[in-house]
Amino acid sequence: MIKATAEGVTGTSRVRVVPPLPWSQDFEAIPVKAVPTHWTNTTGKFEVREVNGQKVLVKLADNAFTKRARAFMSPGTWSNYTVEVDVSATERRRQMGDAGVVAQRYQLALFGNHQRIELQSWQPETERTVQAEYAWKKDTWYRLKLQVDNMPDGKVRARGKVWPVGEAEPDKWIVERVDAMGNHVGAPGIYADAPFEVYFDNLKVTPNKGAGK
C-alpha cells in the first residue's frame, strides 16, 4: 500500500510488484493460509497448507460458488514462456477433480473423471481443443508442462505434456496445436475445477529459448 498527501488531500493505492522470469515457487516460504502476494483471483479459492510434511497450494472445496477457479501471476501482456507445475487430485464418491496450467491464454488440463488431458485455446470453443486419453491416479503427483510460442509467421504454437513426478520427462509432447489466429499475449496461471481439494506444488515459469517474457 502506498499513501500520498498533497495540499491537504490524502490518497492510498495498492501496488503489485511482479518479479521477472524465470520463477520457481515451492510455497515453502509462503505463510500457511496465504498465497503469493502478487497473484490475482485467489481470495477464498486457494491457500497454502502443509500436506504430508511439505507446504503446497490447495484449491479449496468449501464453497460451491468457487468450485472452478483460475489464478493468474503476472500482467496479461507476457508471451513466449513455459509453465510447469506438479498437481495431485483427491477422489470422493467417485468424483475426481480437474487440474491445469495456463500460459498465454491457453490451458492444459487433466480431467479426473474423464481420464484425459486437454489443450484448450478457449474452453467453451471445443473445435479448437486437442485432447488425448491419459489415465492418472488419485492422490498421486503428476508434472504438467505447457509451452506457448509466437511463431515468425504470426501463428501461435501451444503444446503440452504430463508425466508422473519422479519419472523422467518424456521427449514427446502429448498434445499440440498451431493456431493461425492465436492468442499472442496472456498471463501465466493455474486452473482447478473440483468438488474436492486439488493440490499444486513446484511451480516454474521460464522464458522460452530466444524469447523475452
- Assigned domain for 11 exists: no
Give the distance, in angstroms, between the CA of residue 110 and the centroid of all CA atoms in the same chain.
12
- Over residues 103-113, the pLDDT tens digits come to 999 999 999 99
Residue 16 counted as domain residue: no
Residue-wise pLDDT for 112-140, tens only, equals 999 999 999 887 778 889 999 999 999 99
Is 15 inside a domain boundary? no
Confidence band, pLDDT 50/70/90 cuts, at residue 210: low
- Residues forming beta bridges with residue 133, ordered by sequence position: 116
CA distances from 46 to 26, 35, 99, 148 (A): 15, 7, 13, 25
Domain CATH for 123 = 2.60.120.560
Q: Among 52-56, 59-63, 85-89, 123-127, which is the least confidently predicted range?
A: 123-127
On whether residue 36 sits in a domain, the answer given is: yes
- The residue range of the domain holding 189 is 22-207
Give residue 195's pLDDT band: very low, low, confident or very high (50, 70, 90).
confident
What pLDDT score was predicted for residue 211?
54
pLDDT (average), residues 18-46: 93
Considering only the C-alpha atoms of the chain, give the largest distance between any 2 of them, rounded to a whole number of Å.
65
Instruction: Specify the length of the chain in residues.
Output: 213
Kindly tell me the sign of the dihedral angle through the C-alpha atoms of 207, 104, 89, 39: positive
Q: Is 136 a domain residue? A: yes
pLDDT (0 to 100) of residue 63: 82
* Band of pLDDT at residue 93, cut at 50, 70 and 90: confident
- The total of structural domains in the chain comes to 1
Does residue 14 lie within any of the structural domains? no
Region 44-59: mean pLDDT is 94
Is residue 144 within 8 A of residue 110, CB to CB? The reply is yes
Report if residue 110 sits inside a domain. yes
Determine, yes or no, domain membership for 7: no
| 80 residue type, one letter | N
Residue 96 has pLDDT above 60, yes or no: yes
Banded model confidence at residue 66, pLDDT cuts 50, 70, 90? confident
Task: Quickly tell me which residue has 496445436 as its cell.
Answer: 177
Answer whether 0.85 is exceeded by the pTM: yes
